[in-house]
């Protein structure tokens, strides 16, 4: 019983230290957050870390405690009968706790996050949603704003640019094909739209139209933080590392000004 008590005391101490570490470090699991989706993802990561810390500490402590506490003394070659004893109580508790933890994680954050995504895609929740058509090709991104009649947005240097208004939900309509040729589902490859600061990404597949929803909540830009960019996260050929585009999250008034400028350029 003394071994059980000692193990329990060590486990509690390590768990407390681990939880303190999570609380100090876990406020920002993501490098940089600029959307409500990133905040929710961060909360989910912290939730998992809080619940997994005691389990992690238990397993690690067991790996060190048992070999050191019950190691055979020098010259002792006699194997005790109790060495191979099965502890049904321990097995029952371990299996029960494991099942409960897995069910919990299935409900939250897995199922709860899926429900949130379904609600974002619900047509009833699309009031004032900004639609951005995104076309991926080797190795470039094209952005269009059909609600404003703006196609293939570019900056003063002729590079593709993505501007988004802060606080407004965005629906990315994702397609992968070469817009400079007659459409053929086999003309391009799988890409992946990833904006690190938004904490979300989605595969862009030839022959399919996919959707991704995000709500920027911070006025920021690629110039302020390199995480505010569109980056292809699926290896798509030799130009894959360079398949990126800057993102700018601006105020509603600045977004309207930018749209007006793009209309003139599209002229």
pLDDT for 174-190, tens place per residue? 998 765 655 565 567 89
- Sign of the dihedral defined by the CA atoms of residues 148, 154, 160, 163, in that order: negative
- Sign of the dihedral defined by the CA atoms of residues 62, 65, 70, 73, in that order: positive
Residue 52: φ, ψ to 5°: -85, -20
Burial code of 137-176, b = ≥16 C-beta within 10 A, e = fewer?
bbbbbbbbbeebebeebebeeeebbbbbbbeebbbbebbb
d(CA 98, CA 54): 12
Examine the pLDDT at 155 and tell me if it is beyond 70: yes
Q: To which residue do tokens 């600045």 refer?
A: 254
At residue 117 the predicted structure's pLDDT band, cuts being 50, 70 and 90, is: confident
Tokens of 159: 């590079």
The Cβ of residue 249 has, within 10 Å, a number of other Cβ atoms equal to: 27
| Range in 78-87, 111-120, 191-200, 233-242 the model is least confident about | 78-87
Average pLDDT, stretch 233-257? 93
Q: What's the pLDDT score for residue 183?
A: 55
Which DSSP letter does residue 106 get? Answer: I
pLDDT for 210-236, tens place per residue? 999 999 999 999 999 999 999 999 998
Cβ atoms of residues 29 and 45 within 8 Å: yes
Examine the pLDDT at 165 and tell me if it is beyond 90: yes
- The count of residues in the chain is 267
Tokens of 212: 């991704």
pLDDT for 50-94, tens place per residue? 889 999 999 999 999 988 887 777 666 666 655 556 778 888 988
Crossing angle between the packed helical segments 36-69 and 88-105, to the nearest 10 degrees: 170
Q: What percent of the chain has pLDDT over 70?
A: 89
Average pLDDT, stretch 150-157? 82
Cβ atoms of residues 130 and 165 within 8 Å: yes
Q: What's the pLDDT score for residue 14?
A: 94
Pairing outcome for strands 200-204 and 244-250: unpaired
Closest CA to 261 of 148, 107, 138, 133: 148
Burial code of 22-49, b = ≥16 C-beta within 10 A, e = fewer?
beeebeebbebbbbbbbbbbbebbbbbb
This model's pTM is above 0.85 = no
Query: So what CATH class is 129-266?
Result: mainly beta
What is the chain's mean pLDDT, rounded? 86
Tokens of 237: 């050929």
């Amino acid at each position: 019983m003394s071994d059980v008590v000692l193990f329990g005391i060590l486990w509690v101490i390590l768990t407390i230290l681990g939880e303190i570490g999570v609380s100090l470090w876990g406020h920002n699991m993501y490098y940089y957050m600029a959307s409500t989706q990133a905040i929710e993802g961060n909360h989910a990561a912290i939730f998992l870390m809080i619940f997994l810390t005691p389990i992690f500490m238990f397993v690690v402590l067991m790996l060190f405690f048992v070999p050191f506490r019950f190691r055979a003394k020098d010259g002792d070659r006699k194997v005790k009968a109790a060495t191979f004893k099965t502890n049904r109580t321990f097995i029952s508790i371990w299996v029960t706790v494991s099942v409960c933890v897995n069910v919990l994680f299935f409900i939250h954050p897995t199922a709860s996050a899926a429900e949130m995504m379904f609600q974002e895609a619900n047509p009833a929740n699309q009031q004032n949603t900004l639609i951005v058509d995104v076309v991926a090709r080797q190795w470039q991104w094209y952005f269009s704003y059909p609600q404003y009649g703006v196609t293939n947005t570019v900056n003063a240097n002729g590079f593709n640019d993505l501007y988004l208004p802060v606080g407004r939900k965005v629906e990315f309509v994702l397609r992968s094909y070469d817009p400079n040729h007659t459409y053929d589902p086999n003309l391009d490859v799988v890409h992946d739209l990833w904006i690190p600061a938004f904490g979300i990404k989605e595969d862009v597949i030839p022959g399919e139209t996919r959707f991704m929803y995000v709500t920027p909540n911070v006025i920021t830009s690629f110039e302020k933080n390199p995480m505010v960019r569109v980056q292809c996260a699926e290896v798509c050929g030799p130009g894959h590392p360079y398949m990126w585009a800057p993102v700018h999250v601006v105020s509603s008034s600045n977004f309207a000004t930018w749209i007006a400028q793009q209309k003139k350029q599209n002229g």
